[in-house]
Chains A and B, each alone.
Chain A
Amino acid sequence: DAGITQSPRYKITETGRQVTLMCHQTWSHSYMFWYRQDLGHGLRLIYYSAAADITDKGEVPDGYVVSRSKTENFPLTLESATRSQTSVYFCASSHYGVNEKLFFGSGTQLSVL
């Protein structure tokens, strides 16, 4: 099916472990984004990408790494997970950037114990 998919849907890990969250979109959108959602903070931008091989930091990038070797994929890696990274992570995409509709995935709920 066309759309934007995230995996896994739920993930439990331990502090210090490396975790990779996957995001795949089938629209060939140029822009992709990673947000984290926490109570009281809304959605905060972690990283974004304007095209393959172009990535840039958002508001809260520390502790995260991204890559975009293909237009359709934008994985997010937590190099050494911390409890403060327990959150719901959303991937989004759009063709022309944030001034048009962002299409969000269903999210990954990550718990770091």
Chain B
Amino acid sequence: QQQVKQSPQSLIVQKGGISIINCAYENTAFDYFPWYQQFPGKGPALLIAIRPDVSEKKEGRFTISFNKSAKQFSLHIMDSQPGDSATYFCAASIGSGSARQLTFGSGTQLTVLP
């Protein structure tokens, strides 16, 4: 019930292409869906986030698409660049007040070829 399933595990894209990473969840009580980006040797950093009352959110080349009925959300990276090569984690949060917790997907290692 608390799981967030992420796919693919790894992804190789040519420069200029579109990278798509998918996540699925079961628990409809999840109500906040962030994506974190992690470069080697660094901690994750928030990239973009969405709430379930919105079907899409775009920030620059990064877009989250959210399908509430399918319980799925995805990250699209347009015009992918070698500098986007990193590990991407989707996540979902649930709970109230100080007990709210974030559940992460297993991560996708993205490689953008020059």
Complex Cα distance A48/B41, Å? 23
Total residues of chain A contacting the partner, CB 8 A:
26
Complex Cα distance A40/B104, Å? 11
Complex Cα distance A90/B36, Å? 14
15 A-B pairs with CB atoms under 8 Å apart are: A43-B104, A45-B102, A48-B101, A51-B98, A54-B98, A56-B98, A56-B99, A97-B98, A98-B93, A101-B46, A104-B43, A104-B44, A104-B45, A106-B42, A107-B42
Complex Cα distance A105/B43, Å? 6
- Given contacts A106-B43, A107-B41, 6 further A-B pairs with CB under 8 A are A43-B104, A59-B2, A92-B43, A97-B98, A104-B43, A107-B43
Whether a CB of chain A sits under 8 angstroms from the CB of B111 is: no
Interface centre among A35, A90, A98, A102 (most CB of B within 10 A): A98
Interfacial residues, chain A to chain B (CB-CB below 8 A): 31, 35, 40-45, 48, 50-51, 54, 56, 58-59, 90, 92, 97-99, 101-102, 104-107
Question: A98 contacts B46, CB within 8 Å?
Answer: no
Question: A42 contacts B93, CB within 8 Å?
Answer: no
Whether a CB of chain A sits under 8 angstroms from the CB of B106 is: yes
Question: A42 contacts B102, CB within 8 Å?
Answer: no
Chain A residues lying within 8 Å of B89, measured Cβ to Cβ, are 42-43
Select which of B99, B102, B106 is within 8 A of A102 by beta carbon: B102
Known contacts A42-B6, A99-B32; A50 and B98 CB within 8 A of each other = yes
Total residues of chain B contacting the partner, CB 8 A:
22
Whether a CB of chain A sits under 8 angstroms from the CB of B61 is: no
Complex Cα distance A98/B44, Å? 14
B88 CB to closest chain A CB (Å) equals 11
A97 CB to closest chain B CB (Å) equals 5
A1 CB to closest chain B CB (Å) equals 15
Closest to B106 in A: A42
B96 CB to closest chain A CB (Å) equals 10
B92 CB to closest chain A CB (Å) equals 10
B75 CB to closest chain A CB (Å) equals 14
